[in-house]
Structure 1
Amino acid sequence: MANIKKLTNISGVVLAGGQSRRMGKDKRNLEWGGTKFLDKVCFTLGELFDEIILVTAIEDYPCGHLPVRLVTDAIPHSGSLGGMFTGIKEASHPSVFVVACDMPFLNSFVISRLCTMP
């Protein structure tokens, strides 16, 4: 997207360690417009952040095609809060922007505005 600067003091964190019990299938692999939810989220954050941390429950999740650093939950079976803890712990920047993997309508302009508000 044009006119959006990288936010070099913020790490992007994507929570992708859920079991998708209510959905019945892995939400990371759901598609919208031919693109997987997880891919869309990671590429959107990649427009803004120089560090994107993907927090999952398993360490061998296939994500080599994504601009992310894969980490596993520091506290297994601890839900979203545990994923946030892991993402914050692993981040190299003083601030983090956390999203879930099932948010394909994220908008880099809106995220940029949120992150740069006084």
Structure 2
Amino acid sequence: MRSGVVLAGGYSTRFGARDKATAELDGTPLVRRVVDRIEPAVDEVVVNCRRGQRTAIDDALTGHDYRLAVDPVPDGGPVAGVRAGCRVARGRETFVTACDMPFVRPLLAERLFEASEGDGAVPRIGGRLRPLAAVYHTRAVIEAADTTLGLGSGALRDMLDRLSMTVVPGPAPARAVSDVDTRAGLRAAESRST
């Protein structure tokens, strides 16, 4: 079984007062757009969020079959979100992405699942490793996240350093891993989506 985890629990302080996960791109909430895009590549979807987001996430994902992984500590950072989501995931391997990556592609997840060896597969796109568009061996990433957080770090790079990942060069265009951090970024994404 292949799982997909979508991280949506951050406070998105650069985005302004509105919750980024439910902000709309071309009339579709970002979290729904990402779930729509990864569903063809996975057998189950888990959405990680804060307790206060549950109703809004449920509304945004009406009609989808998914499970929630509520953060035990609000906004513990992406490593805590990865850990919470993967603890709920039932798959041996899990594709992890973020709700603010509206152009993620199922083909990216499929290629990473196929290339995955050891603790998973991480793409190198635009010269950078992309840990929020990667496939992880579910148990291994939970252990790496536990260790990383236990040492007082919430950095994805520190978590990634604890894993033996297959690096996959250029499995998708940079657009597939572009994220929306601000309202201006959302407007720019709208102009690129047409």
Unaligned runs of 5+ in 1: 1-8
Q: Which runs of 4+ in 1 moved over 6 A?
A: none
Larger radius of gyration: 2
Q: Give the corresponding residue for 1:113.
A: 111
Q: Give the corresponding residue for 2:86.
A: 88
The structure with higher relative contact order (CA 8 Å, sep 6+) is 1
The alpha carbon displacement at 1:28 in A equals 1.1
- SS of the equivalent of 1:97 reads strand
Aligned residue identity for 1:53: V
User: For residues 116 and 74 of structure 1, what CA distance do their matches in structure 2 show?
Assistant: 32
Unaligned runs of 5+ in 2: 117-194
TM score, norm. by length of structure 2 = 0.52
Q: Give the corresponding residue for 1:104.
A: 102
Q: Is the 8 A contact 1:42 1:67 kept in 2?
A: no
Match of 1:53 among 46, 50, 54: 46
- Equivalent residues, number: 110
Q: Give the corresponding residue for 2:36.
A: 43
Structure 1 stretch displaced more, 16-25 or 61-70: 61-70
User: For residues 28 and 52 of structure 1, what CA distance do their matches in structure 2 show?
Assistant: 15
The alpha carbon displacement at 1:87 in A equals 1.1
User: For residues 103 and 110 of structure 1, what CA distance do their matches in structure 2 show?
Assistant: 13
The alpha carbon displacement at 1:117 in A equals 1.7
The alpha carbon displacement at 1:76 in A equals 3.3
Q: Give the corresponding residue for 1:4.
A: none
Q: Give the corresponding residue for 1:13.
A: 5
